[in-house]
Amino acid sequence: MSNRLPFHQRVALSAEAMLMASLVPKHRVGRVFGAVFKLPLLFQRLGLGALIPRNVLILTTTGRRTGLRRRTPMDFSQGPRADVYLVMSGWEGRTDWYRNARATPRVTVRLGGREWDALAEPVPDEAVARLLRSVTELSPSAARMWSRWSDVPIDGSDASYLAAAPHFPSLYLRPVSRPLE
């Protein structure tokens, strides 16, 4: 993640951090925010994909109980290579998309009009800690968000980010086929 983002992206990141640090329920997403987080699916269904922010991909998992395909909009970060993306779970991994991807790691990723199969692999805590730090460097208000969601005081030290990292289980989405145009 670059340490220099355009102004509008810094404002959006700060707004998201403030929202997640104070308004979104800590123990479950709830109906209101659940609907807000799913808006990109409505945009896609209505043919308004251009309204989906560039930092959002659509992750399709297989339901661990039903076997049905489940689609979830996700913020993402760049992974260790240009074709690998990192997605982070809130709620300590107690989200359906995360549990589905762990049960059946073969997933589908849709981003910017392209779609491809990927393998969802756990991200080491050290890499998650680096991501938490880099987001905080871009938006200092993110430290409050990380602290709230992990119950770990983020003091800027490597140890605090590493202690918080297990509370944000993350997955690398590695392509297993070439993107379909």
94: CATH: 2.30.110.10
User: Is 2 domain-assigned?
Assistant: no
**Encoding tokens for residue 156?**
């800027």
- Residue 1's pLDDT band (cuts 50, 70, 90): very low
What is the distance between the alpha carbons of residues 45 and 39, in angstroms, rounded to a whole number? 10
Q: What is the pTM of this model?
A: 0.78
Instruction: Give the tens place of pLDDT for each residue, 113-132.
Output: 899 999 999 999 999 999 99
Report whether 88 contacts 170 (CB < 8 A). Answer: yes
Q: Range of 103's domain?
A: 7-175
Backbone angles phi, psi at 144, to 5 degrees: -65, -40
Q: What is the pLDDT of residue 165?
A: 97
User: Is 78 domain-assigned?
Assistant: yes
Instruction: Give the tens place of pLDDT for each residue, 85-123.
Output: 999 998 888 889 999 999 999 999 999 889 999 999 999
User: Is 1 domain-assigned?
Assistant: no
User: Is 180 domain-assigned?
Assistant: no
Higher pLDDT pick, 160 / 138: 160
Higher pLDDT pick, 138 / 49: 138
User: Is 93 domain-assigned?
Assistant: yes
Residue 74's alpha-carbon distances to 64, 77, 90, in angstroms, are 19, 10, 11
Number of domains making up the chain = 1
User: Is 65 domain-assigned?
Assistant: yes
